Structure 1
Amino acid sequence: MLSISNDQSVDIGDRIMAAAASCVRDLGVRRVTLAEIARRAGVSRPTVYRRWPDTGTILSALLTERVTGAWREVPARRPGRAGLVARIVEVAQQLREDDVIASVLRSAPEVAMVYITGRLGTSQQILIDQVADELRTAQADGSVRPGDVRQMSAMLLLITQSAIQSGPMVAPILDAHALAGELSHALNGYLAP
């Protein structure tokens, strides 16, 4: 269990998010309660309610932070298509290894399915916008084929999301290294001029 209640220097919102992550890892999504999040964060339930109206909203914010945080943590190291593909593949690897994301996929696949088949979530919208910006730049330097960057970005999301969610299923065939290599080939082939 995560013990963060003694560190008062950490922002309350950050403490609540860390506590929510701890709950998801330890209990699975279905057993997370607002009371347990508050207890682990060392705050009262009203303190949590002032920031988020319910557990579902907290979990949604947590997942958005995990996904967009992975994108922020992986900088673009090279310009153009090569840099963008490398960044996407590295972010996908981080998300495949993220213990909170893995717990959601394992303990509440129906929650994940909403964002896989039903609707775009906040983090997906953010990623589509950010990748579209990088695609626009890569088109300008000639390393990415012409096309609607938002449509292309959405397709990159679909390809990458599939590799993240289905990676464990094909692990006997594609270990993490091979999966990264094949994802890179797929993305490069899709984007090549």
Structure 2
Amino acid sequence: MMSISNEDQAMSVEERILDAAADCVLAFGVDRVTLAEIARRAAISRPTVYRRHPDTRSILAALLTARITHALDAVPSAGVGRAPLVDRVVGVAQLVRRDDVVMSVLRQDPNLAMSYLSERLGTSQQMLLDTVAGEIKSAQDEGSVRPGDVRQLAVMCLLITQSTILAAQMVEAILPADDLVTQLTLALNGYLAP
């Protein structure tokens, strides 16, 4: 039987499930992630996993949400205005693009990626929109972002950034990582400028 360390006991069951799922994604690839292996790695029973998630797809969606939320939290706002707003969006994009778990899920499970990215606004996307819309409103009041519906402006920032993250690998020979950051910054600044 597996022993549970003090560190494991301090983590919530959900955190243990998501950490185990991330380990499985990196170890086996998305297609071979199973609820049984997640339960084993999290040192909990399968029924405990099933009570929280009906299938691996829902666990992977929750994992993406948690990782993207973590990226947003890791890049706090640096002030009011277009420049700090753009810097934050680009910083979050860089963290997401460098996250092996997120990128593995998006690349290895195109159906989940399409559902998560194009069929509906998920929890993490809604959270990002709310955050960016709030910062756009503050920057509009300060005068560094053009007038317009803050939700619409935030949606376009999300679409620009999301497509940049997804296509970065495809265009890496033309637009290496540092240049990609520069161009994304220019695109967002240009779009939001008064």
TM-score interval (norm. to shorter): over 0.9
Q: Which amino acid is 2:104 matched to?
A: S
Change (3 A) 1:4 1:155: farther
Q: Select between 177-186 and 70-79 the one with higher mean Cα deviation.
A: 70-79
Q: Runs of at least 4 residues of structure 1 off by over 4 A?
A: none
Aligned length: 191
- Contact persistence 1:4–1:19 (CA under 8 A): no
What is the aligned partner in structure 2 of residue 19 from structure 1? 20
Change (3 A) 1:116 1:57: closer
- Contact persistence 2:61–2:116 (CA under 8 A): no
How far is 1:28 from its partner?
Answer: 1.8
How far is 1:4 from its partner?
Answer: 9.3
What is the aligned partner in structure 1 of residue 66 from structure 2? 65
Question: How far apart, CA to CA, are the structure 1 residues paired with 2:86 and 2:123?
Answer: 22
Identity among equivalent pairs (%): 59
Consecutive unaligned residues of structure 2, counting only runs of 5 or more, are none
Question: How far apart, CA to CA, are the structure 1 residues paired with 2:18 and 2:29?
Answer: 15
Question: How far apart, CA to CA, are the structure 2 residues paired with 1:55 and 1:108?
Answer: 12
Correspondence 1:148-163 to 2 at 5 A: 148-163=149-164
What is the aligned partner in structure 1 of residue 45 from structure 2? 44
What's the C-alpha RMSD, in Å, of the aligned pairs? Answer: 1.6
How far is 1:5 from its partner?
Answer: 4.9
Q: Which amino acid is 2:28 matched to?
A: L
Q: Select between 125-134 and 102-111 the one with higher mean Cα deviation.
A: 102-111
Consecutive unaligned residues of structure 1, counting only runs of 5 or more, are none
How far is 1:109 from its partner?
Answer: 2.0
Determine whether 1:91 maps to 2:92.
Answer: yes
Task: State the secondary structure of the residue aligned to 1:140.
Answer: helix
Q: Which amino acid is 1:167 matched to?
A: A
Question: How far apart, CA to CA, are the structure 2 residues paired with 1:157 and 1:4?
Answer: 43
How far is 1:137 from its partner?
Answer: 0.4
Task: State the secondary structure of the residue aligned to 2:144.
Answer: coil
Change (3 A) 1:188 1:97: same
Q: Which amino acid is 2:13 matched to?
A: I
How far is 1:62 from its partner?
Answer: 0.8
Give per-residue Cα distances to partners, 1:132-169, cap 9 Å, x unaligned.
01110000000000000000100000000011000001
Q: Which amino acid is 2:77 matched to?
A: A
Correspondence 1:176-187 to 2 at 5 A: 176-187=177-188
Give the TM-score taking structure 1 as reference length. Answer: 0.93
